[in-house]
Chain A
Amino acid sequence: MTSNARTEILQGTLDLLVLKTLDALGPLHGFGIARRIEQVSGAALQLNQGTLYPALVRLAQRGWISSSWGVSANNRRARFYSLTKTGRKQLAVETQSWERMASVIARLLQGAGEA
């Protein structure tokens, strides 16, 4: 794999991506979430799909997502994850803090470029 152009997922941002995906698409199984993240990011983000599952466990433990068994589009039994009420609140919080962080960093980088 040529990974120079592809960015490793930042520590802690995977949670945010998962929450956002579930918020946008509704209940989804693990593979679906992985697919969606890869699709949206194009080839820019390198996702080791296996790392998704510990993240799902973590989010479920915090009560931000819940899961239930259901049937996938091609008739296969799969575990579907969905956002809970606290998860939605958490998403708002994290989105906001991410945006604040990103804008600070952007400003900082710009400022550094001008100097």
Chain B
Amino acid sequence: MTWLRVIIRRIRELFSKRQMDAELDEELQAHLEMMAEENVQRGMPREEARRAARIALGGVEQTKEAVRDHRGLPLLESLIADARFSARTLRKSPGFTAAAILTLALGIGANTATFSVASVFLWRPVSFPGLDRVVMVMSLFPGQSPLMHNQVAPADFFDWSRRSHSFDPMAVFSGADISMTGAGVPQKLTAYRVSSDFFPTLEVQPILGRTFRREEDQPGRDQEAVLSYGLWKSSFGGDPGVVGKTIQLDGRTITIVGVMGDDFRFPPYGAQLWLPMAMDEKEKNIRDDHFLSIVTRLKPGATLAEAQAEMSAIAERLAQEYPAFDKGWGVRVIPVTEFVGGSLGKEYSRISLVAAMFILLIVCANVANLLLARSTARRKEIAVRMAMGASRWRMVRLLLMESVLLGLGGCVFGLVLAQWQLHLIVGAMPAEVERYLPFWRTIHIDKWTLFFSLGIALFAGILAGIAPALRISMPGIVEQLKEGGRGATAGRARHRLRDAFVIAEVALSLVLMIGAGLMTKGVRELFQVQRTLRPEALLTLRIQLPESKYKLAPQRAAFYDQSLARLQALPEVRSATVATGLPYCDCFGSHAFSIQGKPIQPGEFQEAYVQSVGRDFFRTMNLSLRAGREFADQDGQGAPPVAIISEDFARRYFPGEDPLGQRIKQGHDDSDDPWATIVGVVGQMQYVWTTCVDRPAIYMPYQQVPRSYSYFVVRSAGDPMTLVPAIRSQIASVDPDQPVFDIATEAKVIHDSVIGLSYVAVMLSVMGAMALLLAALGVYGVMAYAVAERTHEIGIRMALGAERRDVLAMLLRRGAILTGIGVLIGLPAALALAKLLASLLFGVGATDLLIFCVGTLALAGIAMLACYVPARRAMCMDPLAALRYE
């Protein structure tokens, strides 16, 4: 710890300089006098004795200097002196300074804003104590990308919990939509059933009352609820005496026992209410239905990798013990941050961070070019300093100080820009989407962001300054200086450096532009896919039938029958249907299914989206029939079960066969569900937009499999939103207690679903445009400089008879070569990025020729334009004036 003591002392010494100097002075004087006295005693004359003492000491001033070098922080002090000097120099050339600072501010601002958003996604999308130890344990489908993890079957959960040693007790939760009555209008709530370990595991406390007790997750004793802050405020007016009151949930009387704080939003899908999870013995033994999510903490000392290894081994053993259910299924342990932020959110955050870093690099290249041009003007000053004995390192340090100061200036303005940008980004998120992003409102410029932008500013300052500083302080430069300023061509090496900057800029901005183009096109494609759907004329409403009132299938079917009859009678309604899922609704769980006569091999995996729909579904969704027939009146309750499959289902599972007449059912072939005969094949519908999940669809008539949750889908002749009051009153006339929620056009459902993606696309486009502009400025700067530098040469050429065209061609050729090299370097990098994007996003083709061509041509065009402007100026020069040009 000696070094620490030394640093502390040295810092203290900074503040007592004057006193220490005086003391040193006195000490040295005393030394000299004692020495002189001794010399006198030895018989020297007084004057001689003093002189001898000074010689023995080795000079008073030299000693003082040597001591000062050891005191305080000489490096820091000289850095401060450098900074003062640089600030003065910069102030003397305000044009240059402003240009450099603004350019840097663009880059630093873009990075700061991106970092603010990304850091929240990546590191703290939720806030629990000890967040970094909280993990989720998920199932992994056989043969599935690890990006897509799945919920867990109860029997697996109990096995995992018993056999693993890396975790604190595992807590589980599972979503449940329920209706609440007894507190104002009936409303549907997003509730979560949670085990009694749930709140203790997350180490969170309620702000009122208590959370669940252990005995409350027994069936029959689960009569308590914990409210979210939002629900407490909206439905109970923030009543401090709410604990102990009762509410009706799906017709059961439930007591409110606690209220959580505003900052507790977990699970992140808009949890409004938590209920105890009471599983009976039958439920606990379910092995083929995956509906639980596990959250737990790593035990102290256990690492994520160890926990993953342990769980993988357990999963393998379970696969041997229960091959019919668990063969091929894996386990994945992920940090809870990844679960909440989403693995795609993580990827997109990374992409935008990389894009922002590209902008910064382009900015640095531009500033470096500015510095290089300026350093040419300072060559004399620097040569003189070096001739006087300043070391090269000292010179580089001085020049770097200048660019670092520019970086810090850029940081200040960059923060202002970032604040403004964040304001736009955060404010523009629709409330419907925001409730799935519990952390969205917390995005702001915090201390980490400040550190980050400061770091970025230093990095940018040094990066932009290092090449010019090394170049200008090169030893040979002094000799070059002596040759005199007037040469026909100057500094080849300096040219090479500028050329390198231009090439880098072109390459980087090409990558960004192509990335932005692909992303934008991909998002547009997402909307295009659904164009035949004409989603703007489709109104969607969700409904959740309470168990208490609609326990039996005929009750549910009757509700849908009556409601649909009334909706179809409305004048503006073209058609109306029910469905259990909609394209892009994020509400799909896929289900295992079996085909009669084609048993699933253990370890194989076949799942499909299973839809329970009304007869008019295909007409409403503009899906055309490819074979067989649609559902008809004869397919009612009690009639032989029927199903319709999608085209890709037929292709995948009945290649070269006639699917009509084949029999399929949901679940494994020993499940209770009856076999249904395939009576028709319809067109394909894109239900989700990630390429990670691509599954075919099975449709069944709701009369035969009426679900308790459904969407009403209404195709309207005019503006669908005007139908809402009529639809509400029609449904209320069937069941006045039945809430209707999530009312939106399908266009809005699609829009909200891909909004995160649209955000990334827009951000990338903005950055792509910035990159293009910056690259154009860079090319222009270099060419303008080259023309100015070669004015004399051009004059000579023209005097010797060169045509204007030749001059123009000569200058453009150089620009074209530089751009060409930049493009050649940029294209492979862009291709790599494109491959990454294509793996993440449906609709992005890794080799989208159009985007690559348009991107390249646009960049080349702009670059050539940037060359043309200064070249034209050279072309129009009067040769005589050019010759005289100094």
Contacts and interface: CB of A to CB of B under 8 A. Distances in A.
Interface of A: 29-31, 34, 48-51, 53-54, 57-58, 60-63, 72, 74, 76-79
Contact of B6 (A48, A53, A61, A79): A61
A50 B63 contact: yes
Contacts of A74: 34, 37
- Interface core residue of B10, B31, B62 (most chain A CB under 10 Å): B31
Nearest to A32: B34
12 contacts: A49-B56, A50-B57, A50-B63, A51-B58, A53-B27, A54-B63, A57-B67, A57-B70, A57-B71, A61-B9, A62-B6, A76-B30
8 A-B pairs closest in CB distance: A50-B58, A50-B63, A48-B58, A31-B31, A61-B9, A31-B34, A54-B70, A57-B70
Contacts of B70: 54, 57-58, 61
B2 A62 contact: yes
B10 A30 contact: no
A49 B30 contact: no
A6 to B, nearest CB: 13
Contacts of B67: 53-54, 57
B2 to A, nearest CB: 5
B2 A29 contact: no
B885 to A, nearest CB: 56
B35 A31 contact: yes
B132 interface: no
B28 A53 contact: yes
A30 B5 CA distance: 23
B185 interface: no
Contact of B27 (A48, A51, A63, A78): A78
Contacts of A53: 24, 27-28, 63, 66-67
- Interface core residue of A29, A60, A61, A62 (most chain B CB under 10 Å): A61
Contacts of A54: 63, 66-67, 69-70
Interface string B47-85: 000000000111100110011011100000000000000
Interface string B414-425: 000000000000
A108 to B, nearest CB: 30
Contacts of A57: 67, 70-71
B21 to A, nearest CB: 12
B34 A72 contact: yes
A49 B27 CA distance: 13
B33 interface: yes
B5 A62 contact: yes
Contacts of B58: 48-51
A100 B763 CA distance: 66
Interface string B482-499: 000000000000000000
B263 interface: no
A53 B5 CA distance: 19
Contacts of A72: 30, 34
B15 to A, nearest CB: 15
A83 to B, nearest CB: 16
A29 B56 contact: no
A8 to B, nearest CB: 13
B150 to A, nearest CB: 61
Contacts of A76: 30, 33-34
B63 A78 contact: no
Given A57-B70, A62-B6, A63-B2, A50 B30 contact: no
B2 A50 contact: no
Given A54-B66, A61-B6, A63-B2, A49 B33 contact: no
